[in-house]
Structure 1
Amino acid sequence: MAKKKKITMTVEKTDTGFSAFSEDYPIFTTGKSIPELINNTYEGTELHFEEEIVKFEHSNIKFEIDFKQFFKFYKVINAKFLAEKIGMNETLLSQYVQGHKKPSAKQTEKILSGIHQIGQELSGINLLQTT
Protein backbone atom coordinates (compact mmCIF):
# COMPACT_ATOMS: atom_id res chain seq x y z
CA MET A 1 0.00 0.00 0.00
CA ALA A 2 1.27 3.47 -0.87
CA LYS A 3 2.24 5.77 1.93
CA LYS A 4 0.63 9.24 1.94
CA LYS A 5 3.05 12.17 2.33
CA LYS A 6 2.25 15.48 4.02
CA ILE A 7 4.65 18.28 3.21
CA THR A 8 5.00 21.74 4.73
CA MET A 9 6.71 24.34 2.56
CA THR A 10 8.05 27.53 4.14
CA VAL A 11 7.58 30.49 1.79
CA GLU A 12 9.87 33.51 1.80
CA LYS A 13 9.80 36.73 -0.22
CA THR A 14 13.00 37.31 -2.20
CA ASP A 15 14.30 40.18 -4.33
CA THR A 16 13.22 38.33 -7.49
CA GLY A 17 9.97 36.77 -6.28
CA PHE A 18 9.51 33.93 -3.81
CA SER A 19 11.23 30.80 -2.58
CA ALA A 20 9.83 27.76 -0.79
CA PHE A 21 11.58 24.93 1.03
CA SER A 22 10.72 21.91 3.11
CA GLU A 23 12.56 21.20 6.34
CA ASP A 24 11.59 17.51 6.12
CA TYR A 25 12.50 16.74 2.49
CA PRO A 26 15.17 18.06 0.11
CA ILE A 27 12.64 20.12 -1.83
CA PHE A 28 13.40 23.73 -2.71
CA THR A 29 11.97 25.91 -5.45
CA THR A 30 11.46 29.51 -6.54
CA GLY A 31 8.94 31.49 -8.52
CA LYS A 32 8.40 35.06 -9.66
CA SER A 33 4.84 34.95 -8.29
CA ILE A 34 2.90 32.90 -5.73
CA PRO A 35 1.01 30.90 -8.41
CA GLU A 36 4.30 30.12 -10.18
CA LEU A 37 5.89 29.13 -6.86
CA ILE A 38 2.99 26.79 -6.08
CA ASN A 39 3.17 25.14 -9.51
CA ASN A 40 6.95 24.77 -9.22
CA THR A 41 6.49 23.21 -5.77
CA TYR A 42 4.06 20.64 -7.14
CA GLU A 43 6.46 19.83 -9.98
CA GLY A 44 9.48 19.61 -7.64
CA THR A 45 7.63 17.42 -5.16
CA GLU A 46 6.45 15.03 -7.88
CA LEU A 47 10.01 14.86 -9.19
CA HIS A 48 11.42 14.14 -5.72
CA PHE A 49 8.96 11.28 -5.07
CA GLU A 50 8.81 9.85 -8.62
CA GLU A 51 10.73 6.67 -7.76
CA GLU A 52 8.90 5.98 -4.48
CA ILE A 53 5.56 4.31 -4.06
CA VAL A 54 3.84 7.37 -2.66
CA LYS A 55 0.25 8.47 -2.81
CA PHE A 56 0.83 12.14 -3.45
CA GLU A 57 -1.90 14.78 -3.72
CA HIS A 58 -1.48 18.54 -4.08
CA SER A 59 -3.78 18.99 -1.08
CA ASN A 60 -1.09 17.31 1.05
CA ILE A 61 1.23 20.30 0.57
CA LYS A 62 0.79 23.12 3.06
CA PHE A 63 2.37 26.51 2.40
CA GLU A 64 3.39 28.69 5.35
CA ILE A 65 4.59 32.29 5.38
CA ASP A 66 5.31 34.44 8.42
CA PHE A 67 3.16 37.46 9.26
CA LYS A 68 5.79 40.05 8.41
CA GLN A 69 6.46 38.66 4.94
CA PHE A 70 2.76 38.07 4.26
CA PHE A 71 1.81 41.67 5.01
CA LYS A 72 4.89 42.98 3.20
CA PHE A 73 3.82 41.21 0.01
CA TYR A 74 0.05 41.60 0.35
CA LYS A 75 0.17 45.34 1.06
CA VAL A 76 -3.40 45.56 -0.18
CA ILE A 77 -4.50 44.02 3.13
CA ASN A 78 -4.45 46.90 5.55
CA ALA A 79 -3.60 45.72 9.08
CA LYS A 80 -5.84 48.38 10.65
CA PHE A 81 -8.80 47.27 8.51
CA LEU A 82 -8.12 43.59 9.28
CA ALA A 83 -7.86 44.29 13.02
CA GLU A 84 -11.24 46.05 12.96
CA LYS A 85 -12.75 43.25 10.85
CA ILE A 86 -11.73 40.49 13.27
CA GLY A 87 -12.15 42.46 16.51
CA MET A 88 -8.47 42.56 17.42
CA ASN A 89 -6.50 45.39 18.93
CA GLU A 90 -4.77 47.22 16.07
CA THR A 91 -1.54 47.72 18.03
CA LEU A 92 -1.35 44.02 18.86
CA LEU A 93 -1.83 43.00 15.22
CA SER A 94 0.80 45.56 14.22
CA GLN A 95 3.26 43.97 16.66
CA TYR A 96 2.60 40.56 15.07
CA VAL A 97 3.07 42.00 11.57
CA GLN A 98 6.35 43.70 12.53
CA GLY A 99 7.64 40.54 14.20
CA HIS A 100 7.85 42.10 17.68
CA LYS A 101 5.44 39.54 19.11
CA LYS A 102 4.44 36.04 18.09
CA PRO A 103 0.72 35.26 18.03
CA SER A 104 -0.68 32.22 19.79
CA ALA A 105 -2.24 29.43 17.74
CA LYS A 106 -5.69 30.82 18.58
CA GLN A 107 -4.73 34.35 17.47
CA THR A 108 -3.12 33.00 14.31
CA GLU A 109 -6.33 31.14 13.46
CA LYS A 110 -8.39 34.29 14.11
CA ILE A 111 -6.17 36.34 11.79
CA LEU A 112 -6.15 33.67 9.09
CA SER A 113 -9.92 33.32 9.30
CA GLY A 114 -10.25 37.08 8.81
CA ILE A 115 -7.93 36.99 5.79
CA HIS A 116 -9.94 34.12 4.29
CA GLN A 117 -13.18 36.01 4.93
CA ILE A 118 -11.84 39.08 3.10
CA GLY A 119 -10.73 36.84 0.22
CA GLN A 120 -14.18 35.27 -0.04
CA GLU A 121 -15.83 38.69 0.00
CA LEU A 122 -13.51 39.98 -2.72
CA SER A 123 -13.98 36.89 -4.90
CA GLY A 124 -17.74 37.49 -4.89
CA ILE A 125 -17.50 41.05 -6.21
CA ASN A 126 -17.89 42.04 -9.84
CA LEU A 127 -16.81 45.50 -10.92
CA LEU A 128 -19.01 47.48 -13.27
CA GLN A 129 -17.49 49.44 -16.10
CA THR A 130 -18.88 52.92 -16.38
CA THR A 131 -18.90 54.83 -19.61
Structure 2
Amino acid sequence: MKIVKIPLIIERGKDKLLWGRVVFEENLITDFGSTISELEQKIKNLLLEIENLNPNAVKFEHHFDISALFQRFNFLKISNVAQQAGMNPGLLRQYVSGIKNPSLEQAKKIEQTLHKLATELKEASIFV
Protein backbone atom coordinates (compact mmCIF):
# COMPACT_ATOMS: atom_id res chain seq x y z
CA MET A 1 0.00 0.00 0.00
CA LYS A 2 1.38 3.36 -1.05
CA ILE A 3 1.30 6.07 1.65
CA VAL A 4 -0.13 9.42 0.57
CA LYS A 5 1.27 12.44 2.40
CA ILE A 6 -1.22 15.28 2.66
CA PRO A 7 -0.64 18.69 4.27
CA LEU A 8 -3.15 19.27 7.09
CA ILE A 9 -3.60 22.90 8.12
CA ILE A 10 -4.61 23.06 11.79
CA GLU A 11 -6.02 26.20 13.40
CA ARG A 12 -7.52 26.79 16.79
CA GLY A 13 -10.85 28.57 16.69
CA LYS A 14 -12.24 31.02 19.22
CA ASP A 15 -14.32 28.07 20.48
CA LYS A 16 -10.98 26.36 21.38
CA LEU A 17 -11.73 23.57 18.88
CA LEU A 18 -9.11 22.54 16.34
CA TRP A 19 -10.21 23.19 12.77
CA GLY A 20 -8.43 21.37 9.95
CA ARG A 21 -8.38 21.52 6.19
CA VAL A 22 -6.78 19.57 3.39
CA VAL A 23 -6.88 19.88 -0.37
CA PHE A 24 -6.92 16.57 -2.22
CA GLU A 25 -7.65 16.14 -5.92
CA GLU A 26 -8.80 19.78 -6.00
CA ASN A 27 -11.35 19.17 -3.22
CA LEU A 28 -11.19 21.27 -0.07
CA ILE A 29 -12.06 19.07 2.90
CA THR A 30 -12.61 20.60 6.34
CA ASP A 31 -13.68 19.44 9.76
CA PHE A 32 -13.03 20.09 13.45
CA GLY A 33 -12.20 18.18 16.60
CA SER A 34 -11.15 18.69 20.17
CA THR A 35 -7.88 16.78 19.62
CA ILE A 36 -5.56 16.33 16.68
CA SER A 37 -6.25 12.59 16.54
CA GLU A 38 -10.01 13.20 16.45
CA LEU A 39 -9.56 15.81 13.72
CA GLU A 40 -7.30 13.47 11.70
CA GLN A 41 -9.80 10.61 11.97
CA LYS A 42 -12.68 12.81 10.81
CA ILE A 43 -10.69 14.07 7.82
CA LYS A 44 -9.61 10.52 6.95
CA ASN A 45 -13.27 9.44 7.04
CA LEU A 46 -14.17 12.28 4.69
CA LEU A 47 -11.30 11.35 2.36
CA LEU A 48 -12.67 7.80 2.27
CA GLU A 49 -16.22 8.99 1.63
CA ILE A 50 -15.36 11.66 -0.97
CA GLU A 51 -12.19 10.32 -2.61
CA ASN A 52 -12.37 6.60 -1.77
CA LEU A 53 -8.93 6.97 -0.18
CA ASN A 54 -7.97 4.24 2.30
CA PRO A 55 -7.52 5.91 5.72
CA ASN A 56 -4.55 3.62 6.45
CA ALA A 57 -2.78 5.02 3.39
CA VAL A 58 -2.95 8.63 4.62
CA LYS A 59 -0.17 10.37 6.54
CA PHE A 60 -0.74 13.99 7.44
CA GLU A 61 1.97 16.65 7.47
CA HIS A 62 0.88 19.07 10.20
CA HIS A 63 0.98 22.82 9.64
CA PHE A 64 -0.17 24.79 12.69
CA ASP A 65 -1.26 28.33 13.33
CA ILE A 66 0.46 29.79 16.40
CA SER A 67 -2.49 29.15 18.71
CA ALA A 68 -2.93 25.51 17.66
CA LEU A 69 0.82 24.90 17.89
CA PHE A 70 0.97 26.00 21.53
CA GLN A 71 -2.18 23.99 22.28
CA ARG A 72 -0.60 20.87 20.75
CA PHE A 73 2.77 21.41 22.45
CA ASN A 74 1.33 22.76 25.70
CA PHE A 75 4.50 21.90 27.63
CA LEU A 76 6.20 24.87 25.94
CA LYS A 77 6.27 27.95 28.12
CA ILE A 78 5.31 30.97 26.08
CA SER A 79 7.54 33.32 28.06
CA ASN A 80 10.60 31.09 27.56
CA VAL A 81 10.00 30.72 23.82
CA ALA A 82 9.51 34.49 23.52
CA GLN A 83 12.75 35.15 25.40
CA GLN A 84 14.65 32.72 23.15
CA ALA A 85 13.14 34.42 20.09
CA GLY A 86 14.06 37.88 21.38
CA MET A 87 10.47 39.07 21.47
CA ASN A 88 8.04 40.40 24.04
CA PRO A 89 6.28 37.55 25.92
CA GLY A 90 3.05 39.57 26.06
CA LEU A 91 3.05 39.85 22.27
CA LEU A 92 3.54 36.10 21.85
CA ARG A 93 0.68 35.49 24.32
CA GLN A 94 -1.52 37.71 22.13
CA TYR A 95 -0.58 35.61 19.10
CA VAL A 96 -1.35 32.39 20.96
CA SER A 97 -4.71 33.66 22.22
CA GLY A 98 -5.69 34.92 18.77
CA ILE A 99 -5.95 38.57 19.79
CA LYS A 100 -3.26 39.44 17.25
CA ASN A 101 -1.78 37.61 14.27
CA PRO A 102 1.96 37.47 13.68
CA SER A 103 3.50 38.83 10.53
CA LEU A 104 5.25 36.33 8.28
CA GLU A 105 8.57 37.58 9.67
CA GLN A 106 7.45 37.09 13.29
CA ALA A 107 6.01 33.63 12.51
CA LYS A 108 9.32 32.58 10.92
CA LYS A 109 11.24 33.90 13.94
CA ILE A 110 9.07 31.79 16.27
CA GLU A 111 9.40 28.74 14.02
CA GLN A 112 13.20 29.08 13.85
CA THR A 113 13.36 29.40 17.63
CA LEU A 114 11.29 26.24 18.09
CA HIS A 115 13.50 24.34 15.65
CA LYS A 116 16.61 25.55 17.49
CA LEU A 117 15.16 24.43 20.84
CA ALA A 118 14.21 21.05 19.35
CA THR A 119 17.75 20.55 18.06
CA GLU A 120 19.20 21.38 21.46
CA LEU A 121 16.78 19.00 23.15
CA LYS A 122 17.52 16.25 20.64
CA GLU A 123 21.25 16.55 21.40
CA ALA A 124 20.77 16.41 25.18
CA SER A 125 21.54 13.19 26.99
CA ILE A 126 20.79 12.00 30.49
CA PHE A 127 23.61 10.66 32.60
CA VAL A 128 22.79 8.04 35.20
Question: Which interval holds the TM-score relative to the shorter structure?
Answer: 0.5 to 0.7
TM-score, normalising length: structure 1: 0.59
Share of identical aligned residues, percent? 23
Residue correspondence of structure 1 range 22-101 to structure 2 within 5 A: 22-23=22-23, 24-26=27-29, 62-101=61-100
TM-score, normalising length: structure 2: 0.60
Matched, 1:124 2:93: no
Structure 2: 5+ residue runs without aligned partners? 13-17, 54-58
Residues 9 and 21, structure 2, Cα contact 8 Å, conserved in 1: yes
Structure 1: 5+ residue runs without aligned partners? 13-17, 52-57
Residues 10 and 22, structure 1, Cα contact 8 Å, conserved in 2: no
Change (3 A) 1:6 1:81: same
- CA distance in 1: counterparts of 2:10 and 2:29, whole angstroms: 13
Change (3 A) 1:90 1:6: same
The size of the alignment, in residue pairs, is 117
Deviations 1:87-113, CA, capped at 9 Å, x for gaps: 011111111011110001110000011
Larger radius of gyration between Structure 1 and Structure 2: 1
Aligned-pair distance for 1:7? 4.0
Q: Note the aligned Cα RMSD (angstroms).
A: 3.9
